[in-house]
Amino acid sequence: MTPPESGSPGSRAWPSPRSARLAELDPATLYALLRLRVDSFVVEQRCPYPELDGRDLEPGALHCWIEEEGRVLAYARVLREAEGSRVGRVVTAPAARGRGLAATLIRHALGHAVRPVVLDAQSHLLPLYRRLGFSDDGPEFLEDGIPHTPMRLLDDAEPTEPRIPPGQTEPRIPPGPTEPRLLDWGRRLAAVAQNGLYYSQSPGFDHVRYTQVRDVAAEVMAAAHAGTPLRTVQRLLAGEEGYATPKIDVRGVVARDGRLLLVREVDDNGWTLPGGWADPTDAPGLAVEREVREEAGLAVRATKLLACFDRSRHGPLPPYPFRVWKLFFRCEPLQAGADAVHDGQETAEVAWFDPDALPQLSLGRVMPAQLARVALHLADPNRPADFD
C-alpha cells in the first residue's frame, strides 16, 4: 500500500537511503519505522488490517528508509519470494511528501532486490512505478477499499527515464542530439539559405541559388518525417525572414505544497508547464509572466532562470523544422493561494501534480526528465541554472 506524496518541498539536498535487517535495527529506529507504517496505512487511510503481518521477522526481509535529523521521512520493505523479491509498505511521512523521496527510496530498494521484482501499487501511483521500469502484471483489485494494480519488474526492464548512475544524484539529460540526422541536415541547409537570402543585396542569381537551397532543405526535412507534406515545410521556411536564429519557448514553473502547476493543452490533451513562444516585444521574464497569466489565470513574478535547454537534445520528440531553446523560469504568485483557471482556448484544464506522479505530458512542450530537473531546483533553491 502506497499513499500519495504531497506536501511542502524540502530546501536541502536529499538525505541518503539506509537499509538493514531486523536484527541490525536498534529498538528506537524499529519503533519509528513501524510507527510511520501504522500512522499511514492504518490511521491515515482508515484501513483496520494487520499491518504487522509477521513478514518483518523473515531472515530475508530488508528494511529501507530515509531519515533526516533523527526523523524517519520514508520507508520501504523488500521481501524474498519463491521467485525474486517483493517491494511493499512504501510510505512517505506527510511532512516530507513532494520531495521525490519515494522514487529515491524505491531505486535504493531495487539495488538490494532479486529480479523479478513484484509489488501491488495503489493505482493512482502507476505513473511513478512505470517510470521506474515496472509493468502492469494483472487486473486492478480492491484491497481495504483502495484500488491496487499488481506490477512486475523483469531482469531486462529499463525505466522510461534515465536511471541515476551510482554517485550521481540527479536525473541525467541526454548528452547529444536525439533527432534524426536527416532533420538536422535539413535544418542546417535551411539556415544557410535564409542567411544567404538575408545578406544578398539584390534579387539576382544569389537569391535564386539560395531559394533553391531552401527548397532542397524542405525536401530533406519532409523526408525525415514522412507524415509532413512537402508544401507545409516549404511554406514554413519561406515565411522566415532575417538572420536565422533559434526560436525561444518560455515555461513557467509554479509550485504549491511541493506540486507543480500544469495545464492541459487543447490540441493534444497533454499536460505541460504553462508557456509558449516568447513575444519579440517582451523581455524574457515578462514573456513567461504573460504566458502563465494567459494560460493558467495566475498573476506571477518570474524570480529565477532555472534552465535553458536545446529542444533537439531532449527526446525523442515530434520533428520541428526550427531550432528551439526552452527557458524554464521559477515563478511566484503575486497573491498567495490564488486559484488557477484555464483559458478555455489553448488550455482545457489546470491542476497541481506531484513530480513523482505526472499525468500524460505534451511531449513537444515538456519532457519528464526536464520536470525531474525542475524538481531538483524546487528542493534546492541555490542550485545553479542548467543549460545544454
Residue-wise pLDDT for 316-327, tens only, equals 676 777 889 999
Reported as a pLDDT band with limits 50, 70 and 90, residue 218 is confident
CATH superfamily of 18-153: Gcn5-related N-acetyltransferase (GNAT) (3.40.630.30)
User: What is the second-level CATH architecture of the domain 247-387?
Assistant: Alpha-Beta Complex (3.90)
Query: Within 10 A of 366 (CB to CB), how many other CB atoms are there?
Result: 25
pLDDT for 2 beyond 50 = no
Residue-wise pLDDT for 135-174, tens only, equals 999 998 888 778 899 999 875 454 444 333 334 444 444 4
pTM of the full structure: 0.51
Query: Which of 31-35, 85-89, 343-347 has the lowest average pLDDT?
Result: 343-347
The answer to whether domain 18-153 and domain 247-387 are alike in fold is no
328 and 309 Cβ atoms separated by less than 8 Å: yes
Domain positions in the chain are 18-153, 181-238, 247-387
Residues comprising the chain, all counted? 388
Name residues whose C-beta falls within 8 Å of residue 105's C-beta, 6 or more positions apart in sequence.
17, 64, 65, 66, 74, 75, 76, 90
